[in-house]
Amino acid sequence: MALVPCQVLRAAILLSYCSILCNYKAIDMPAHQTYGGSWKFLTFIDLVIQAVFFGICVLTDLSSLLTKGNDSQEQERQLKKLISLRDWMMAVLAFPVGVFVVTMFWSIYIYDRELVYPKLLDNFIPAWLNHGMHTTVLPFVLIEMRTTHHQYPSRSCGLAAVCTFAVGYILWVCWIHHVTGVWVYPLLEHLSPGVKVIFFAAVTVVINILYVVGEVLNNYIWDTQK
């Protein structure tokens, strides 16, 4: 794809995430008023991650255009740092967390929506916003992977970062339950303590697998394994 279409595409995706976040935050939902607010939901955290990531992508595109034909070594160094940050976010957060949210949400939703997205929420969240939070994330991140080659970190460093994020969020969910006595997701109410441990371990394994899937897919698309 040409540079300008890619720039326009990223800018459009960024604007869509900003619109989704604004509309979501404008909803007067009881869960937003409880401990942790919107930040207790992985869906909201993922939306912020995606918005920040595509914001960095747009900033990288603008910086690349501004430094084109410029011989300033300092500007080149700053651009390389920005590209490194963009690639790191894609590898460690945007792809694995985004794909995890979409696949996990719809898998549980199809099995029993009350375990993850009770029907009561339909009174607060319109269908288009639900798809904006739980569906379009996947095609957007795949489009980005297809249009731009991202340099992945070493596998050990990448997996360590992904594990840190996953364990950090699990501890956050457990802390919220410790403070409020209520689990963030209804699904957890139905699991015994032992099964919860297995579930959290499985979630960590899955998100690590998705990191590897992203790395392999990136290499396949851009043929970096020559």
In 49-195, DSSP assigns E strands to: none
**According to the model, what pLDDT value does residue 69 have?**
66
**According to the model, what pLDDT value does residue 224 have?**
57
Using CA atoms, how far apart are residues 66 and 54, in angstroms rounded to an integer? Answer: 18
DSSP structure class, residue 145: H
Beta-carbon-side half-sphere exposure of residue 9 (alpha carbons within 13 Å): 16
**According to the model, what pLDDT value does residue 226 have?**
47
Q: Is the dihedral of CA 73, 74, 75, 77 positive or negative?
A: positive
Using CA atoms, how far apart are residues 17 and 19, in angstroms rounded to an integer? Answer: 5
Q: Is the dihedral of CA 50, 132, 35, 110 positive or negative?
A: negative
pTM for the predicted model, two decimal places: 0.92
Please give the average pLDDT of every successive group of 10 residues along the chain, which has 226 residues. 70 95 88 88 96 95 80 80 94 97 94 89 90 95 92 95 97 96 91 94 96 94 68
Q: Are 158 and 211 in contact (CB under 8 A)?
A: yes
Residue with tokens 């997205």: 117
**According to the model, what pLDDT value does residue 7 have?**
84
Q: Are 55 and 15 in contact (CB under 8 A)?
A: no
Task: List, in order, residues 6 or more apart from 86 with CB less than 8 Å away.
Answer: 53, 56, 57, 60, 150
